[in-house]
Copies of this chain bind each other. A is one copy, B any other.
């Protein structure tokens, strides 16, 4: 098993370099976090290269005068970052820098806009109880003709339309629809009032698509202009589908940014 190597003229001196580091017991930063930072620095600087094995947990505990459980907490952070991979019975190994990997997040609209420094607002275009279209009934596993709650909203950023949101939700209880609850659209609360099943999880598919005339008119963009088309599937705890929707995000204003890989 290769433990240390050399590439491209760069020397790797992981153990020696690590051995010179110390945990500052007087710091407010807890030891597990200090150790994670120390190892991260030595990995990113190349003292440990891709494929190299880190010193065993017991050895790190000895080197830094901390317990093994504390060492494990450090390494777990680094593993979450994708920097190293622990392998039972073998050791903990440095990964290739994940240059072709990244994660993105889709966030609740208002929160998302606030994070981007824009002021979110919302206009309820329509909310009605209707007989489920055949396509929707089959998706939601309802008898054809069963009633569903249909909601259309336009979501604004700094008073400009950004997202066109259409959703079909299970409607089992005959409760009257309150405009107020749909403006803010706390989806779990809405479904708790109108549906017999508790929503538990959403899955999404993001595609690109050309705006229809309707979508373009509402969003204030040219017909056929490209946009993010986000399909939403709301599931209950037992896995059945209890809501389905399409969100169209303006392609000329909206974008996704990969999440920073930080030590948390």
Contact = CB atoms under 8 A, between A and B. Distances in A.
Contacts of A257: 203-206
Contacts of A186: 96
Interface in A214-236: 226-228, 234
B100 A105 contact: no
Interface string A1-38: 00000011010000000000000000000000000000
Contacts of A256: 104, 205-207
Given A203-B258, A205-B255, A100 B104 contact: no
Q: How many copies does the complex hold?
A: 2
Q: Sort chain A's interface into a size bin.
A: 35 or more
Interface string A226-264: 111000001001000001000000010001111111000
A101 B107 contact: yes
B104 A106 contact: yes
Given A44-B200, A100-B202, A103-B106, A209 B188 contact: no
A208 interface: yes
Q: Which of A106, A186, A201, A260 has the most CB of B within 10 A?
A: A201
A237 to B, nearest CB: 4
Interface in A75-122: 96-109
A55 interface: no
Interface stretch (A56-64, A130-138, A191-199): A191-199
B201 A96 contact: no
A198 B44 CA distance: 8
Contact of A206 (B8, B97, B104, B202): B104
A212 interface: no
Contacts of A199: 97, 99
Contact of A227 (B45, B106, B187, B208): B208
A251 B208 contact: yes
Given A99-B234, A100-B108, A188-B97, A228 B208 contact: yes
Contacts of A41: 237
Interface of A: 7-8, 10, 41, 44-46, 50, 69, 96-109, 186-188, 192-193, 198-210, 226-228, 234, 237, 243, 251, 255-261
